[in-house]
Amino acid sequence: MSLTRTIAERLNPVLRMMGAQLVGNKQLEHYQKVRDKYLPEIPEPGDLAEPPPEAREYLQIENPRLVELRQRYQQYKCAATSPSIWTQSHVSLIDLAHFRSDNPYVFQRFDSNGEVAHALTTYYLQRKDTLGLLERLREDRVFGAQTFDFESRFLVSRDLLDSINEINFLERTIGIASGTGFNVLDIGAGYGRFAHRLTEGVPGIGKVFCTDAIATSTFLCEYYLRFRRASSAVVVPLDQLEHSLRNERVDLAVNIHSFSECRMEAVRWWLDLVCRHRVRYLFIVPNAVSEGGRRLALHNKAGSGATDYEAEITNRGYRKIEASPKYETPNLQRSGVSPTWYHLFELVS
């Protein structure tokens, strides 16, 4: 018996539990011939779905709304608007008409390993998605999202898979979908992908306030959530945030891959705001640059001194109530889509 066959026989019982298995090259070639014969052609991941004509007309650098937001953000002086990574040159990497493509908002470059990672992650979520979001939420590739066709049943993307994972984590830990009127503040909301999935997947959710220190993000978020008819989502420009939250209860603040890319001064500014408004829960998803996301740390070289910011959170009266890998299965934590850790805090003083 060959070494390859021995490895396959030992791994396949485990893989079959996830709906997968190792096959030989000849068998794979056979499957590919059958697929090519009977299934419709699947678009290449790199092909960008063209946005609606009205979107291309609106999503322009010279759009008056974007110009206005930039001017307001330049005039609004606070620690949050002093960028570390998200400088103007970084923002210029974003194609406004394809803002969901592979870019600083959601890196999603496809290669052979990326296709496998998306498949394994989808199999994983089929078992872990207690809310049934995988069956209810859909990916349509619009605005350039790179996708993978899952068993010719539906398209998946990092946007979709990450959102489903995050929402299920929040349901397991704090029951975000079990009650009604749960208000959320999305700090560093980007183009609004989490708010879109949350409002669509959890009908009983309250208001989802989306804010960002980057004017271009606010501009895109306004457009995208209006495009998705996410009526529960409220996009709040940074200079109006304090006023908007003054008479609103916020139960949960989320920060997904944003604090990692900020200066420490900006992180403190956001934490002071969250603490000032007595937000009960704080959910943080860091970039996986420090111990795979186990440690909350800045991943830039701006400023000086410590880069670990967990003490900044606990010093403001929060205690960590959960810290766990994004994937409960160790193999997926190595090979799934964008592995990191989830950190959840609760205000106790």
Return the HEC string of 4-70: HHHHHHHHHHHHHHCCCCCCCHHHHHHHHHHHHHHCCCCCCCCCCCCCCHHHHHHCCCCCHHHHHHH
| Domain layout of the chain by residue ranges | 175-347
Q: Distance between alpha carbon 249 and the CA centroid of its chain, in Å?
A: 24
**How far is 194 from 186, CA to CA, in rounded Å?**
8
Q: How far apart are CA 184 and CA 235, in angstroms?
A: 12
DSSP class of 147: -
Q: 71-85, 130-144, 302-316: which has the minimum mean pLDDT?
A: 302-316
Give percent of the chain with pLDDT exceeding 70: 83
Under DSSP, the state recorded for 157 is -
Quick check: 33 pLDDT over 60?
Answer: no
Separation CA 310–CA 291 (nearest Å) = 14
Residue pLDDT, tens place only, 266-304: 999 999 999 999 999 999 999 998 899 999 999 865 544
Separation of alpha carbons 147 and 140, rounded Å: 9
Contact between 197 and 160 (Cβ < 8 Å): yes
Where residue 27 falls among pLDDT bands split at 50, 70, 90? Answer: very low
CA distances from 42 to 19, 141, 154 (A): 21, 13, 11
Q: Using one digit for the tens of pLDDT, what is the confidence trace for 38-75?
A: 233 333 434 567 788 999 999 999 999 999 999 999 99
Instruction: Work out the average pLDDT over 113-133.
Output: 94
For the entire predicted model, the pTM comes to 0.85
In CATH terms, is domain 175-347 a member of 3.40.50.720? no
Under DSSP, the state recorded for 327 is S
